[in-house]
Each structure stands twice: as C-alpha cells, then as structure tokens.
Amino acid sequence: MTTPEERAALLKRWALENPANAEILRRLPALDLPQACLVAGCLYQAVWNRQADRPVDAGIKDYDVFYFDPDTSWAAEDRVIRRAAPLFADLGVEVELKNQARVHLWYGERFGAGYPPLASSEDGIGRYLVACTCVGIRASDGALYAPYGLDELWDGVLRMNPVNPRPALFQAKAESYRARWPWLKILETE
C-alpha cells in the first residue's frame, strides 16, 4: 500500500510521462491565465492506463485546462482559446480551455440541470461527476489538487461526487469508463 504522498507523486510522474501533458504545463504560464490548471482525464487516465499496462496517453480524447477569469463573457473566453491555439498546435492533441467563472452560464442548457457559480478553478475540479476524477495540476507551481484524495482512483472505485449528484449523468460517465477499464467498480447511486 502506498501513502497518499506517494500516490500523488506517482500520479504526477505518470501523467508527465505523457509528452502532451508535460508540454501543456510547461507552456501554460505563457498565457498568463489566472488559476490555470491541467485537469481530469489526461491525468487520471495515466493511472488507469498504467494499471492496465497501456501507454499513459492511450485513449485520451482531449486535454482540459481550467482557469478562472471574472470576465464571464464568451468573447473573453474565445480570445483565450484563440491565443492558446497556436501555442499548442504542434502537440497534435485537442486542448480545451474553460473559464470556470462562466460554467454556470451554459451548463444547464448543455446538461439539463442548473449549476452554481464557482469561486475558483479548484471549485470546478471538485465538481466532476465521478469523485476520483477530480484531479488537477496547477500550472503556476505544479501542485496537485485532488479534493477527494487518490485512494478511489488507485482502487478503481467510481463514486458519484457528493457535491454534484446527478445519478443519470454519473451512471453514463461511469459506464463509459468501465467500458475502457473493465475492472473499475461502480458504486451504486441511491
């Protein structure tokens, strides 16, 4: 059994073995985005892929970057997306940037339920549907943020996030993970 500190170090090491993750984190400070973090799938999938004896970057659809800008206009977010495009173009991966200050403005229309305004990028990380997938690495200092710890990620336990209880969305997301990593365990929702 590894300690929480050892798991955090392993997650970062494995995630950064993916050249795209390493380069995104290296280049992100050039955008000067407040609270910029590399988050979610490109990080936690490194753990599951290693456990499944696959390359750490296997099956990663996109690379999510969260930041927090009080300007919640679409125009401001679009300017960030346009500035970032040439910075990451040579990586050959899709990098998606999302201003967490404006998620509440579009989430309901896209996912059919309301979403509270967030106060930080870390708030956004902490609201993913599956608790163990709530992970991020800050671009400013490389610190790992995992509000629910890493035990369930390591143990392959998929539990609905208690601060974002959406049973139907959680079940669909959890089943999509289990289709790729069949050994994952879904905790039933109530």
- Domain residue limits, the chain: 4-186
Tens of pLDDT, residue by residue over 27-54, are 999 999 999 999 999 999 999 999 999 9
Q: Which two tokens stand for residue 163?
A: 């601060």
DSSP bridge pairs for 38: 65, 137
Task: Give the predicted TM-score (pTM) of the model.
Answer: 0.94
Residue with tokens 């690379």: 63
Q: CA-CA distance, 105 to 70, in Å (whole number)?
A: 13
pLDDT tens for each residue of 98-107 = 999 999 999 8
The whole-angstrom separation of Cα 38 and Cα 26 is: 11
The strand pairing partners of 176, in sequence order, are none
CA end-to-end span of the chain: 30
H or E segment and range at residue 8: helix 4-17
Neighbours of 80 (CB within 10 A): 20
